[in-house]
Structure 1
Amino acid sequence: MKRLFIVASILFYVANANANNKTDINVSTDGTRTTLFGDVIQGGLLYGKSTEAVTSVKIDGVKVPVHPNNNLFVFGFGVDAQEQSELVITYVDGSVDRQPLKVAQREYKIDRVNGVAKKYVSPPKSVLSRISSDSAKVKKAREKMSYRTDFLEKSIRPAEGRISGVYGSRRVFNGVPKRPHFGLDIAGPTGTKVIAPWAGKVVLAEPDLYYSGGTLIIDHGLGVTSTYIHLSKVDVKVGDEVQQGDKIAEIGATGRVTGPHLDWRLNWFNRRLDPALLLDE
C-alpha cells in the first residue's frame, strides 16, 4: 500500500484581489519535501519545488508537467476556478502527498465598451473561416511544451501607460455581452515600446489576426506563455530567443479596439491567468 503524506512545507502567497496586496500563509508538518510559490486565487500562477524526485503531479485530476532535472512544476487557476482544489504529488518512492488548496474567489467588474466596430461584435460570415484559422494558430502556439524555466524570475511591466482594462471583467460591447476580458490592458500612444517581462522563445508572431490584430506569443516553459495583442509592430519572429527587457513590439490599435493599447495576457496551456498578479504594483 502506498504511504500518504500531507505536503510537508507549503508557502502560499495569497493575493487579495480587492486590496491589491499579498498575504503570506505558511502550512507545514513534520519533514519538508515540496514548497509552492504563487497566488492561490482565481487567475493565479503557482510553481512548486520538491526536494525528492517527483514522478507525477496533478491539480484537480489534470496532469501537471514536471521538469526532468530539478523536480520543478508549475500550474495555474482559471478565471472561474472553484474554491476547493486538490494538489496530488507522487514521488519516486511511491509515496503520495495530497494537499487541499482553498482558491480565493474574486468579484469581477462589468466593463461596458461602446464604439466598437460592428464587424467585431457580430462578424460577417465572410470572415468566420479566418477567425477559425486565427484561433487554431493561437491554440497550437499555446500547446507547445518546453522545459524552459523563465517564469521563476521576477516579472517586469511590459509597457508604460495607464491601466485601462483588467483581468476577468465581464465585457459588454455596444450593449452585447461577450466573453470576459482575460488580460491586463495598458493604454499608450501607437508606437509605445513593448518589452519582454520575462525571457522566453517566440512561438507566434502575426501582424494581423482578426480580433487581436498584431499578436505575439512567447513561451516561458512548462506550459506558461505570455501574449501581447493589438500591436502596431512586431519586432521578433517565431524561433527568436528574447531576454527580459528586450524590445519585442510596439503598442497599436489593431483588431477589436477603441483606442491604442497593449493587451497583455498570461496562460498555463489553455488556462487564462492574470498577469497583474506577477507585478508588485
Structure 2
Amino acid sequence: MIKLNVLFLLTLSTLVQADDYFLNFKGEPIQGALIIAHTNAGADVQIDNQSVETTEDGYFMFGFGRFDDQAKTLKIQHNGYTYTTTVPVKTRAFPTEKIDGLPPSKVNPPEGFWDRIKKEQAEVKQARSESNKARHFLQNFIWPAKGRVSGVYGSRRILNGEPKRPHYGMDIANVTGSPVIAPADGVVRMAVTDHYYTGGTIIIDHGYGLNSTYLHLNKLDVTVGQQLKQGDKIGEIGATGRATGPHLDWRLNIGTSLRLDPQLIIAPEPE
C-alpha cells in the first residue's frame, strides 16, 4: 500500500518503498497553492491523466486554482510499476467587496479599447507560454518588494451589482519609485510600459512552466531575454494602467491558465 506524505508549511520528508519508489511534496494543498513534488528519476508522471514534465532527477510541479475543489489524481510509472494516489484540496474563504454608484467607465472599459485589450491579452498569453528547462522554480522565493499587503489573491469585487473576475495577484503597496526585485532566478519574457489594464508589465520565466508577473510598474529596468538572478532590480512600483494608487500587483502562473497565490510561497514578512 502506498502512503502519501503531504508536506505542510514548506517542510520536507522522505518516503521510500521496498522498490525504492518515493514521492515527496513541498507546499500545502489548498486553493491557490503551488506544489513542488519529487519522485524517482526517469519516472513518467500524470496528473488527472495529463502528462507532466519532470526534471532529470524527478522534480515536477502542479497547483490548485482558486475554484479547484476536487482532489487531483497522480499516476507515476516507475520500473514497470504504476502507483496511483490522490491529493485532496482544502478550500478557502475569499473576501468579497461591493461598490455601488460608480461611473460606467470604472466598471467596464469603453468599447473603443476592446481591440487593444484583446491584443495585449494575447501578448501576455504568448509570454507565459514560453518556458525553458531551468530549475529556478525549485528556489525559495523571496518578496519582490517591501510594503503593505493591500490586496490578496482570490478576492472579488461586485461593481454596481456586476460581479467581476477574481483578483489573481498579491498587491504590495508602497510609494512610487520603490524598488521591485526578482524573487527568484529567471529570464524575462515580457517587458512593456503601457498595457491598458496593467501599465508597466514584466513577466519572468522560472523554468518548466512556472512564471511570475509584475504589474503597474512606474519604471522597468530589464529587457526581454535578460537573465536574472534572485534579488536583481527589475523595476519600480507605480500606478500605471488601471490602478488607483501606487502598488505592485504580483502574480504567479503555471503556463498560461493556472493562476496561483504568490503569497503562499514566501515568508510572512519581507527580509
Whether the aligned pair in 2 keeps the contact of 1:12 and 1:26 (CA below 8 Å) is no
Please give the alpha-carbon distance, in whole angstroms, between the structure 2 residues aligned to 1:116 and 1:232.
26
After the TM superposition, which residues 103-114 of structure 1 pair with which residues of structure 2 at under 5 Å, given as runs?
Answer: 103-112=89-98
Pick from 23, 45, 63 the counterpart of residue 57 of structure 1.
Answer: 45
* SS state at 1:142 partner: helix
CA 1:24–1:238: 2 relative to 1, 3 Å: closer
Cα shift readout 1:86-117 (whole Å, capped 9, x = no counterpart): 111223x3321111111111110113468987
CA 1:190–1:36: 2 relative to 1, 3 Å: same
Aligned-residue offset at 1:61: 2.5
Whether the aligned pair in 2 keeps the contact of 1:199 and 1:242 (CA below 8 Å) is yes
- 1:44 matches 2:19: no
* SS state at 2:194 partner: strand
Partner residue in 1 for 2:74: 87
| RMSD value, Cα | 2.3
Structure 2: gaps spanning 5 or more residues? none
User: One-letter code of the match for 2:77?
Assistant: T
* SS state at 1:221 partner: coil
Runs of 4+ in 1 over 3 A off after TM superposition: 22-32, 111-120, 173-176
Structure 1: gaps spanning 5 or more residues? 15-21
Cα shift readout 1:184-216 (whole Å, capped 9, x = no counterpart): 000011111001110100001110111111110
After the TM superposition, which residues 133-152 of structure 1 pair with which residues of structure 2 at under 5 Å, given as runs?
Answer: 133-152=119-138
- 1:156 matches 2:139: no
Pick from 200, 204, 228 the counterpart of residue 242 of structure 1.
Answer: 228
Give the total of aligned pairs: 265
Whether the aligned pair in 2 keeps the contact of 1:42 and 1:81 (CA below 8 Å) is yes
Cα shift readout 1:218-240 (whole Å, capped 9, x = no counterpart): 00011100000011111101000
User: One-letter code of the match for 1:87?
Assistant: L
Aligned-residue offset at 1:170: 1.3
Aligned-residue offset at 1:260: 0.7
User: One-letter code of the match for 1:109?
Assistant: P
- 1:202 matches 2:188: yes
Whether the aligned pair in 1 keeps the contact of 2:153 and 2:168 (CA below 8 Å) is yes
After the TM superposition, which residues 178-257 of structure 1 pair with which residues of structure 2 at under 5 Å, given as runs?
Answer: 178-257=164-243
Q: TM-score, normalised by structure 2?
A: 0.90
Aligned-residue offset at 1:62: 2.9
* SS state at 2:163 partner: strand
Aligned-residue offset at 1:52: 3.9
Please give the alpha-carbon distance, in whole angstroms, between the structure 2 residues aligned to 1:162 and 1:109.
18
CA 1:115–1:46: 2 relative to 1, 3 Å: farther
* SS state at 2:154 partner: coil
Whether the aligned pair in 1 keeps the contact of 2:14 and 2:23 (CA below 8 Å) is no
Q: TM-score, normalised by structure 1?
A: 0.87
CA 1:236–1:174: 2 relative to 1, 3 Å: farther
Q: Percent identity?
A: 43
Please give the alpha-carbon distance, in whole angstroms, between the structure 2 residues aligned to 1:165 and 1:116.
20
User: One-letter code of the match for 1:66?
Assistant: T
Partner residue in 2 for 1:165: 151
Higher relative strand content:
1
CA 1:27–1:152: 2 relative to 1, 3 Å: closer
Whether the aligned pair in 1 keeps the contact of 2:10 and 2:27 (CA below 8 Å) is no
